[in-house]
């Protein structure tokens, strides 16, 4: 039984780990790199066609985003996740494929003039749809046999609807070890979803460390902070435009706006309208509404039992079609507009910014993280003008920020979760944090909990039976981002060949008749294409 660390090692995104046990090849998460890529990550050391199964902690793209690429390279196994994660991946992987296709189209239009090679998406919609059909759903606390000698359980970790820590029991050659993959550990007291659940025993813990070097400030009072912003904007006759992440943050906003309306905290605008203008956010909101039991916290369930939808209210309107989206900006009535993307780099929010940034009576309210280089970051940092759709827009609107309740546990929350183990794990592997943060949190674990802790780099291999680090990964900085997509078509052909080799091996022991037929089909194909 061996564990190889592939991604999210001394980095926050691209979570992926490879477990070899009981003759099976299993991935835990298959995430996409987002934002700055600091270090080279090792590829899966086997052909994708040889991967038997994927265990997925949650739906965020930095944990799930490469699943369609895995499929395109030959993977045909099952993907195991909670029911809510399965539902969210249905929309998020389709959206990710759409983004890949759009980016390829844009780059090819731009590159045509300069004679650049054709730029191809890392996967397409067909890959995403096929991947979604491979999901198998499980309830929290349901312990199931994945394969002989391998048992699995998903435990609520309070980060996102359906998010989980994954407990894996492996028995091989008379040795049993339990490995826990924390996933992203949620902050306490988030609206709608439950607090993280604590696990009592493990031999090994693969532990995230996103905020392992700091503690959150006192959580803001959303109601008292949001109410005056709404009141002031509506009083001025303007629109409150909120760029928001479609999954998670939008639903939290609806929860608080419902409460503000219910308590009649806005004076003189009793029937103010709220528009959700993001097809993905609308789909995600429906998934939240449909996945209540087993996922919502006690406060939200009390509302449900009282006949109240926690994220719906009078005056809430959804814009699905392009025409419905356009109509919002031709409605002169003061209103709230919630739209994606959260960092303003894509999506319908850019149209709403175009129509509202120049207005002195409107407000742009940021409720999530804005990465360096994003349009949202430039606006938040005080840009006097921005370019949208080739037009220069003067920034006259009121720009403000509402510091939200983080979806990630802070240093104390992480230590509390890890400190819940009744017996010291044999070793804790610290991942999913910036380079310095991983190392800092590793020291916190050693000093404050007395656990043996180690922060691996990509390529590290651990023998779980003996607790021995067989191969130590290397710190290899990314010098220049290599664009591998220009050869994707040939790569797909090569991967198809690798899958064929795997399929041939799986037919060992078949009847002579079947094997002869298979051989003839392969030879006929080779005869056709041998050049």
Helices 435-444 and 411-418 cross at an angle (nearest 10°) of 50
* CA–CA dist 146, 171 (Å, integer): 12
The percent of residues above 90 in pLDDT, for the chain, comes to 73
* pLDDT for position 30: 97
Least confident of 97-106, 235-244, 397-406, 478-487: 478-487
Q: How far is CA 245 from CA 106, 284, 464, in A?
A: 23, 11, 38
CA angle 507/512/518 to nearest 5° reads 55
Instruction: Give the confidence band of 372 by pLDDT, cuts at 50, 70, 90.
Output: low
Q: Which residue in this structure is represented by tokens 């789909």?
A: 283
* CA–CA dist 185, 453 (Å, integer): 18
Handedness of CA 525, 527, 528, 531 (dihedral sign): positive
Per-residue pLDDT of 149-175, as tens digits, reads 999 999 999 999 999 999 999 999 999
Contacts with 159 (C-beta within 8 Å, 6 or more apart), sequence order: 58, 183, 184, 185, 186, 196, 407, 408
DSSP letters spanning 395-452: --SEEEE--PPPSS--HHHHHHHHTT-SS--SEEEEESS-HHHHHHHHHHIIIII---
Least confident of 48-52, 94-98, 219-223: 219-223
Q: Which ranges constitute the DSSP H helices of 133-278?
A: 222-235, 249-262
Q: How many CB atoms lie within 10 A of CB 92?
A: 23
Q: Is the peptide bond before 341 cis (omega within 30 degrees of 0)?
A: yes
Per-residue pLDDT of 436-456, as tens digits, reads 999 999 999 999 999 999 999
What number does CATH give the domain 222-401?
3.40.50.10890
* CA–CA dist 47, 73 (Å, integer): 8
Query: Which CATH architecture does the domain made up of 2-215+407-471 adopt?
Result: 4-Layer Sandwich (3.60)
Per-residue pLDDT of 384-398, as tens digits, reads 999 999 899 999 999
* pLDDT for position 527: 84
pLDDT at 480 over 70: no
Token pair belonging to 452 = 């043996």
CB-CB contact of 125 with 101 (8 Å): yes
* pLDDT for position 205: 98
Q: How far is CA 225 from CA 221, 321, 507, in A?
A: 6, 32, 64
Q: How many CB atoms lie within 10 A of CB 337?
A: 28
pLDDT at 487 over 50: no
Q: How far is CA 303 from CA 192, 309, 311, in A?
A: 10, 7, 10
* pLDDT for position 485: 47
Give start-end residues of each CATH 3.40.50.10890 domain in the chain: 222-401
Note the residue count of the chain.
531
337 beta partners: 241, 275
Question: For the whole model, what pTM was predicted?
Answer: 0.88
Give start-end residues of each CATH 3.60.15.10 domain in the chain: 2-215+407-471
* CA–CA dist 14, 286 (Å, integer): 27
Per-residue pLDDT of 260-311, as tens digits, reads 999 999 999 989 999 999 999 999 999 999 988 899 999 999 999 999 999 9
Element (H, E) at 490: helix 488-506
pLDDT: is 468 or 480 the higher one?
468
When computed from its CA atoms, the radius of gyration of the chain, rounded to whole angstroms, is: 25
């Amino acid at each position: 039984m061996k564990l190889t660390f592939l991604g999210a090692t001394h980095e926050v995104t691209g979570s992926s780990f490879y477990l070899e046990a009981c003759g099976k090849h299993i991935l835990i998460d298959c995430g996409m790199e987002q934002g700055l890529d600091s270090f080279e990550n090792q590829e899966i050391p086997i052909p994708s066609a040889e991967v038997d199964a994927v265990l997925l902690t949650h739906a965020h793209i930095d944990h799930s985003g490469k699943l369609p690429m895995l499929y395109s390279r030959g993977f045909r196994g099952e993907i195991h996740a909670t029911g809510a994660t399965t539902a969210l991946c249905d929309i998020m992987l389709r959206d990710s494929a759409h983004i890949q296709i759009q980016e390829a189209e844009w780059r090819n239009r731009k590159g045509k003039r300069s004679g650049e090679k054709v730029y191809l998406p890392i996967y397409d919609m067909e890959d995403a749809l096929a991947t979604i059909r491979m999901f198998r759903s499980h309830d929290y606390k349901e312990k199931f046999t994945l394969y002989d000698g391998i048992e699995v359980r998903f435990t609520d970790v309070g980060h996102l609807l359906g998010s989980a820590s994954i407990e894996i029991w492996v028995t091989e050659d008379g040795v049993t070890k339990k490995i826990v993959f924390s996933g992203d550990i949620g902050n306490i007291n988030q609206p709608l979803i439950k607090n993280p659940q604590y696990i009592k025993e493990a031999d090994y813990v693969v532990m995230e460390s996103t905020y392992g070097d700091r503690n959150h400030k006192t959580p803001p009072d959303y109601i008292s902070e949001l109410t005056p912003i709404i009141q002031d904007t509506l009083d001025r006759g303007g629109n409150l435009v909120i760029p928001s992440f479609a999954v998670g943050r939008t639903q939290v906003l609806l929860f608080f706006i419902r409460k503000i309306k219910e308590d009649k905290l806005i004076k003189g605008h009793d029937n103010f309208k709220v528009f959700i203008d993001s097809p993905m956010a609308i789909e995600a909101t429906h998934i939240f509404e449909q996945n209540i039991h087993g996922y919502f916290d006690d406060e939200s369930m009390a509302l449900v039992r009282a006949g109240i939808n926690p994220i719906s209210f009078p005056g809430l309107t959804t814009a699905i079609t392009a025409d419905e989206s356009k109509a919002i900006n031709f409605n002169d009535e003061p209103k709230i507009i919630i739209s994606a993307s959260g960092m303003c780099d894509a999506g319908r929010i850019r149209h709403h910014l175009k129509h509202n940034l120049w207005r002195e009576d409107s407000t742009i309210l940021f409720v999530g993280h804005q990465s360096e280089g994003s349009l949202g970051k430039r606006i938040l940092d005080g840009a006097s003008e921005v370019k949208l759709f080739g037009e220069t827009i003067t920034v006259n609107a009121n720009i403000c920020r509402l510091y939200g309740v983080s979806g990630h546990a802070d240093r104390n929350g992480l230590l509390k979760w890890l400190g819940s183990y009744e017996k010291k794990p044999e070793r804790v592997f610290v991942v999913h944090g910036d380079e310095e943060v991983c190392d800092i949190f590793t020291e916190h674990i050693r000093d404050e909990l007395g656990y043996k802790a180690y922060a691996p780099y990509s390529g590290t291999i651990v023998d779980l039976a003996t607790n021995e680090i067989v191969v130590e990964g290397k710190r290899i900085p990314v010098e220049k981002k290599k664009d591998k997509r220009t050869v994707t078509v040939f790569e797909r052909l090569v991967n198809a060949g690798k899958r064929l080799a795997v399929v041939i091996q799986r037919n060992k022991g078949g009847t002579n008749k079947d094997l002869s037929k298979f051989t003839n089909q392969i030879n006929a194909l080779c005869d056709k294409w041998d050049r």
